[in-house]
Amino acid sequence: MRATIHLDTQHHAGPVDRRIFGGFLEHLGRAVYGGVYDPGNPLSDERGFRRDVLDALRPLAFSVMRYPGGNFVSAYDWTDGIGPREARPRRPDFAWKSVETNQFGTDEFLAWCRALGAAPMLAVNLGTGTPARAAHLLEYCNLPAGTSWADRRAANGHPEPYGVALWCLGNEMDGPWQAGHAPAEVYGRQARMASALMKGLDPTIQTVACGSSGRGMGSYLEWDRTVLEIAWDTVDFISAHRYSGNWGGDSASYLAEGVEIDRILADYAGLLAYVRGVKKSAKRVYLSFDEWNVWYRARGDDGNWAEAPPLLEEVYNLEDALVCAQYLMAFLRRADLVKVACLAQVVNVIAPVLTRPDGVLLQTIYWPFALIAASARGIALAPAITAPTYTTAHYGEVPALDAAATYDAEAGTLALFLVNRDRAALTVEIAVADAALGAVLHADLLTGEPHAANTWEAPRAVLPSPGRAEVVDGRLRVTAPGTSFMAVRAKVRTAPAGRSAIVSPADAASAPTA
Ligand code: AHR
């Protein structure tokens, strides 16, 4: 079976924002305690940070890390987690019915982010919390010493402000499960007030208003429209969340998950253009897809009031990895819209990395993230894909091939990401209209038995291996086996003349008006 991809370096969706390679760490299950933080374990450093976990996460090149929740944040008092550890209170956690010891809090998280090399993305509590308390946290983190909360930070051993740039205004406030869930109008006013207060103290920050917690919500997009109409002038992003699953055991439909992700992105592009138009605003608000992953097996939220109970410890197979690849590929194609995205989550809880006291396990979903984050650079091209289709119960006929590509003018390289959703192998011909390709730098392939998983007993069941890619007459020819993901990078031999402006149709449609 054959497929073709036509690219043109002048036809693109703008620069790849590295913040789409974000992660998410929540006080949930064994994510923090026994995950990233494990004092006394010989594998941990003097701060209690698991060194092997940091080493495992570094190749994922997380640009940002969202914290401390999630549902957890909506009943969290951040002041419980600062100051001398022995004085910190043990609290029942409303969201996950667990006991929170508060031994890991804001200062520990910010130190951990530095150790990882990721920028923090802090969420404030707009459930049981108030805009004023959110502004106190901003003061604690970002203001120079000289006022009460900034002085507390200095007294806690951190004289210099942290300069946290990205802030989430609550979490999933449309969800009835959320502590402090409120109608969109009420939340929208809270978000506007919190954002204005926080930006009043530090105008350099960017804020994210809560959008719908999923496309299945009855108020999907209506919630978002209401919040955006109220808070538009004070926020920079609206959030989207999605968890995918092969609920019915229908792998053909599940592997076409990218169709649904594209649809959600199109929904938000339309909504943001609509609100901007109604408001006759020159401002742009972008999408922060700050929770995405596969999550359908290890559901349930009852920690039985234990400390760090094992919750949401999903085991991932190859199919799940191909779905994760499709999220990142969809974000790349809509680089004009998606500027922040967070894999939910990073350790133990619906995570690419699992821990035991004596080591770590890399799950299948680790690999597409690592391979795409390593190679996606420069501008995100708009691929024109011609491929055979296959039939799904959910979406009807869908293309067997999903693809994204980036072009790095400085390095003179093209990166290509492919998912073959179907079982038959595809020979994919890739042509760049205004450039000829040179040497293939690498071709990494993830494939195998669709339900194969990495386990403690068989940790190397699903690993990348070298794939087949060659350049023929300036074009790339890639063999994509059935049910596979590939990441290929090639040298661009004939550099295109000059650089273009952003020309994606979405951007042109929403260019500033006079
Ligand atoms: O990531 C797990 C949970 O999923 C988060 O706490 C919540 O925001 C979402 O519903």
Task: List, for residues 54-80, the tens digit of each pLDDT value.
Answer: 999 999 999 999 999 999 999 999 999
- Spatial distance between the Cα atoms of 302 and 309, rounded to a whole number of angstroms: 9
Measured by CA distance, the residue closest to atom 6 of ligand 1 is 70
2-10+379-509 falls under which CATH superfamily? Golgi alpha-mannosidase II (2.60.40.1180)
Strand-strand pairing, 379-381 and 119-124: unpaired
Q: How confident is the model at residue 496 (pLDDT cuts 50, 70, 90)?
A: low
351 or 300, higher pLDDT: 351
CA–centroid distance, 39 to ligand 1, in Å, is: 26
Q: Whose CA is nearest to atom 3 of ligand 1?
A: 70
**Average pLDDT in the 266-282 region?**
98
Is-contact 404 333, C-beta < 8 A? Answer: yes
Which residues, listed in sequence order, are joined to residue 408 by a DSSP beta bridge?
A: 413
pLDDT of residue 381 exceeding 70, the answer is: yes
First to last CA, the chain: 50
CA distances, 119 to each of 21, 65, 308, 337, 410 (Å): 11, 6, 25, 20, 25
Q: Decide whether any atom of ligand 1 lies within 6 Å of the 319 Cβ.
A: no
Q: Is the pLDDT of residue 510 over 70?
A: no
Q: Are 79 and 185 in contact (CB under 8 A)?
A: no
* 3-state DSSP helix/strand/coil % of the chain, to nearest 5: 30, 30, 45
pLDDT at 506: 42
**Rounded mean pLDDT, 486-514:** 58
Which of 244, 258, 292 lies closest to 422 in space, CA to CA? 258
Compute, in angstroms, the gap from residue 48 CA to the centroid of ligand 1: 25
Which residues are identified as catalytic?
A: 172, 291
Residue 494: pLDDT band (50, 70, 90) is confident
Answer whether residue 225 shows pLDDT above 80.
yes
Token pair of 158, please? 């951190």
The predicted structure's pLDDT at residue 126 = 98
The DSSP output letter for 49 is: B
Is it the case that residue 89 has pLDDT exceeding 80?
yes
* 199-221 mean pLDDT: 98
Question: Which residues are 4's β-sheet partners?
Answer: 386, 429
Q: Is 170 in the pocket of ligand 1 (CB under 6 A)?
A: no
What pLDDT is recorded for position 301?
85
CB 71 less than 6 A from any atom of ligand 1: yes
Token pair in block for residue 358: 């004596």
Average pLDDT, whole number, for the chain? Answer: 95
Going by pLDDT thresholds of 50, 70 and 90, the confidence category of residue 497 is low
How remote is the CA of residue 62 from the centroid of ligand 1, in Å? 19
Q: 158-202 pLDDT, tens per residue? A: 999 999 999 999 999 999 999 999 999 999 999 999 999 999 999
Q: d(Cα 97, Cα 300) in Å, to the nearest integer?
A: 11
CA 69 to ligand 1: nearest atom: 6
Closest atom, ligand 1, to C-alpha of 28: 6
345 lines ligand 1 (CB under 6 A): yes
| Nearest in space to 3 (alpha carbons), one of 323, 368, 422, 465 | 422
pLDDT single digits (tens) 119-162: 999 999 999 999 999 999 999 999 999 999 999 999 999 999 99
Q: Check if 212 has its Cβ closer than 6 Å to any atom of ligand 1.
A: no
Give 501's pLDDT tier (boundaries 50, 70, 90).
Answer: very low
Q: Quick one: pLDDT at residue 499?
A: 46
Best residue among 71, 173, 292 to mutate for probing ligand 1's pocket (most ligand atoms within 8 Å of CB) is 71
Q: Are strands 2-7 and 384-386 parallel, antiparallel or unpaired?
A: antiparallel
Residues 508 and 201: their CA atoms lie apart, in Å, by 34
Burial (CB < 10 A; 0-12, 13-18, 19+), residue 513, is exposed
* CA 263 / ligand 1 centre spacing (Å): 21
Contacts of 219 (CB under 8 A, 6+ apart): 174, 184, 212
Structure tokens that stand for 311 in this block: 């919750």
Q: Is the CB of 178 within 6 Å of ligand 1?
A: no
Residue 310 confidence (pLDDT): 97
Q: Within 334-378, where are the H helices?
A: 366-375
Which whole number is the average pLDDT over 207-211?
98
pLDDT tens digits, one per residue of 426-457: 999 999 999 999 999 999 999 999 999 999 99
In 433-510, where do the E strands start and end? Answer: 437-447, 465-466, 468-472, 475-480, 484-492
Nearest CA, atom 5, ligand 1: 70
Cα(194)–Cα(117) distance, integer angstroms: 28
Ligand 1: does its nearest atom lie under 6 Å from the Cβ of 226?
no
Confidence of residue 505 (pLDDT cuts 50, 70, 90): very low
* Domain ranges within the chain, ordered by starting residue: 2-10+379-509, 17-375
What's the average model confidence in pLDDT over 268-291?
98
Confidence of residue 320 (pLDDT cuts 50, 70, 90): very high
CA distance 472 to 126: 57
Ligand 1: atom nearest CA of 24 is 1
Residue 500 has pLDDT above 50, yes or no: no
Which residues, other chains included, contact 334 with Cβ-Cβ below 8 Å and sequence gap of 6+?
13, 265, 269, 287, 506
CATH class of 17-375: alpha beta
What's the pTM? 0.95
